[in-house]
Structure 1
Amino acid sequence: MSFFSKLKESVAKRTESVTQKFVSGLSKTSSNLVGAMGSIFTGRSKIDEDLYEELEEVLIGADVGVPTTMHLVERLRQEVKARKIKEPSELQLVMSELIAELLEDDDEPSLQLNQDGMSIILFVGVNGVGKTTTIGKLAHKLKQEGKKVILAAGDTFRAGAIEQLETWGTRAGVDVIKQQAGSDPAAVIYDAIQAAKARQAEVLLCDTAGRLQNKVNLMEELKKVFRVVQREVPDAPHEVLLVLDATTGQNAMQQAKTFGQAVNVSGIVLTKLDGTAKGGIVIAIRHELDLPVKWIGLGEKADDLQPFDKEQFLHALFQEED
């Protein structure tokens, strides 16, 4: 059975509505990346240096990134030699296999939850990436699963952040612990932990300020929040999710590296993937940062936040081939 046949068979076992969300949300990336690769592979009669150079341009243009692009092209060269491939038209299948190879370790659960008590999840990321919205959507999803959820309005820095989280809390039917704008974020998180313990909440989702990479004092503030969480619940936080905007491309990679130096990021939430043709950033994150992409945003509705599924991702990317 071919790679695409196996992929199609596996995806067929998933919920059709979710599959459609992936296909629709990744249509721009599929056209930009896979469509462009297909044009290269079917538009020439031989495999030569020009082909490899054009492929590099397409991969980098889809935000696969230079290091990951170089890795994929080198692996393609190796496979062409090992398999004695002569026809460029055969290379689309090989590239799909190589991309799948880079994502093969992305089988971690979308959330690491504490099975013996309350789970605390911190969300970090710069302003404008959709962090507060992501928290609201995840609260909605967890509430639908029957979990008791509390939100902590730890972003006391951005005007309107507290009110925005309260709006999402109301929609999801969950409590929001807050203080006044400008309050010490660590104090807000402390209050939220005490409230979550008292109310026997199962999950505490903590918002934090949208820190810019060059604001050292704000990074130090984030570390303080981290220390408070660890002091109050020794095995927490159970997840530190970095929210990145897929439309910002390689800038998102730099943000990931910076936040990774400040706190122990456990996974990535990639928002606005439906709004970009550069979804290759998913592949770059996995290869260059060795961090799992745990959730992706495929639209504006509450259920458009989806756990990352590598097979759905690959199926949506290579839908025309599949």
Structure 2
Amino acid sequence: MINKQNFNIKKKHGFFNYLKKNLIRTTKNISQEIINLFKKKNIIDKELFNKLKETLIIADIDIHTTNKICNLTKKYAQKNKIQDSFKLYDYLKIEMLKILLPVEVPLIIKNKKKPFIILIIGVNGAGKTTTIGKLAYYFYKQNKSVLLASSDTFRAGAYEQLSTWSKRSHSILLENYKKKDSSAIIFDAISYSKKKQIDILIADTSGRLHNNIMLMEELKKITRVIKKNNNMCIDEVMLILDANIGQNSINQLKIFHDNIGITGITITKIDGTAKGGVIFSLANKFNIPIRYLCSGEKITDLNLFNAKNFINAIFINN
């Protein structure tokens, strides 16, 4: 049995170490390259900022966000007549932090009207089902009752995979009737949750190809069904993004958000990528809350996003 107190202590104090370990490749791609640049260039001039732009873009930060960071840093240097490149380096980190702070918004569970409904969406392979299991366990440790709805009717083995995570996370899994479509499964899950006074309903969906119009329309149908079920609302539409896809995540988020309306983001697989810089692009372009970061297969590998810890972990060795 896992000690709840120890779990909470780990969540509170272990996030920085968790990030430091899992952002090694991103750290090398961003801060190490930047620090090398500032070491070589003692003079603050046009060449320094041009090379800084190149470095940020290589780190998978889009050109618009890169220009914003560089322009603000340049203005600061000019206004304050900064000559020491390392003082400018410290300010650069502050500007990067400012981009992330507005999206550091934790998901608050309000149970004025049960259940609190979380709709999980994303493309195949992003880690939706694994994230659902981690979320369910995270809420279980907060003494919340959780029901899972497996409405991924396209992928073979989706129900069985979610069933395994349900057992591990101490949550309830609504039986998936194969003859029913996704909307019907979620409708039944809402009805069951209201009857049993379940705190949280987490609904899985098929791996939506963000450029497939038919599948996107079906996802819209799911949202309509939820809203029609006794005037229930979707409390959270959470998009799961794989950190490894880098700038492609911007296109995914845009299309999903335009069609469905995303209220929160969870970024997975941050341990295996050097493209963690895309988080700055996502924050700057969309200003949608980044709820969690996660990696690995452990059920506890899910952490609240914290902007300051993220920045400190990237620049820890510099």
Partner of residue 65, structure 1: 62
| Aligned counterparts, 1:182-261, within 5 A | 183-261=180-258
Q: Which amino acid aligns with 1:216?
A: I
Partner of residue 25, structure 1: 22
CA offsets 1:228-262 (integer angstroms, 9 cap, x no match): 11111535210000000001001111000000011
Q: Percent identity?
A: 36
Quick check: 202-211 or 309-318, which moved more? 309-318
CA offsets 1:151-170 (integer angstroms, 9 cap, x no match): 00011111111111111011
Q: Taking structure 1 as the reference length, what is the TM-score of the superposition?
A: 0.91
Contact kept, 8 Å, 1:122 with 1:241, in 2: the verdict is yes
Partner of residue 169, structure 2: 172
**Cα pair distance change 1:84/1:128, threshold 3 Å:** same
Contact kept, 8 Å, 2:104 with 2:305, in 1: the verdict is no
Partner of residue 11, structure 1: none
**Cα pair distance change 1:309/1:165, threshold 3 Å:** same
Runs of 4+ off more than 6 Å: none
1:101 aligns with 2:69: no
Q: Matched residues in 1 for 2:177 and 2:115: separation? A: 26
Q: Give the secondary structure class of the aligned counterpart of 2:239.
A: strand
Contact kept, 8 Å, 1:299 with 1:305, in 2: the verdict is no
CA offsets 1:13-70 (integer angstroms, 9 cap, x no match): x833222112111222122101111000111231222221221121111111111111
Q: Matched residues in 2 for 1:240 and 1:31: separation? A: 33
Q: Matched residues in 1 for 2:309 and 2:265: separation? A: 17
CA offsets 1:141-190 (integer angstroms, 9 cap, x no match): 11121111000001111111111111101111211114244741000100
Q: Which amino acid aligns with 2:99?
A: L
Give the one of 305, 308, 321 matched to 2:305: 308
Structure 2, unmatched stretches of 5+, are 1-10
Partner of residue 281, structure 2: 284
Partner of residue 124, structure 1: 121
**Cα pair distance change 1:298/1:225, threshold 3 Å:** same
Aligned length: 309
CA RMSD across the alignment: 1.7
| Aligned counterparts, 1:70-81, within 5 A | 70-81=67-78
1:45 aligns with 2:42: yes
Contact kept, 8 Å, 2:22 with 2:270, in 1: the verdict is yes
CA offsets 1:249-305 (integer angstroms, 9 cap, x no match): 011110000000111110111000111111111111110111111111133211111
Q: Matched residues in 2 for 1:173 and 1:110: separation? A: 21
| Aligned counterparts, 1:254-269, within 5 A | 254-269=251-266
| Aligned counterparts, 1:153-168, within 5 A | 153-168=150-165
1:295 aligns with 2:292: yes
Q: Taking structure 2 as the reference length, what is the TM-score of the superposition?
A: 0.93
Partner of residue 8, structure 2: none
Q: Matched residues in 2 for 1:315 and 1:202: separation? A: 35
1:79 CA drift (Å): 1.0
Q: Matched residues in 2 for 1:300 and 1:113: separation? A: 28
CA offsets 1:70-94 (integer angstroms, 9 cap, x no match): 1111111111111111122222101
Structure 1, unmatched stretches of 5+, are 1-13
Quick check: 293-302 or 109-118, which moved more? 109-118
Quick check: 26-35 or 133-142, which moved more? 26-35
Q: Matched residues in 2 for 1:53 and 1:111: separation? A: 42
Partner of residue 139, structure 2: 142
1:55 aligns with 2:45: no
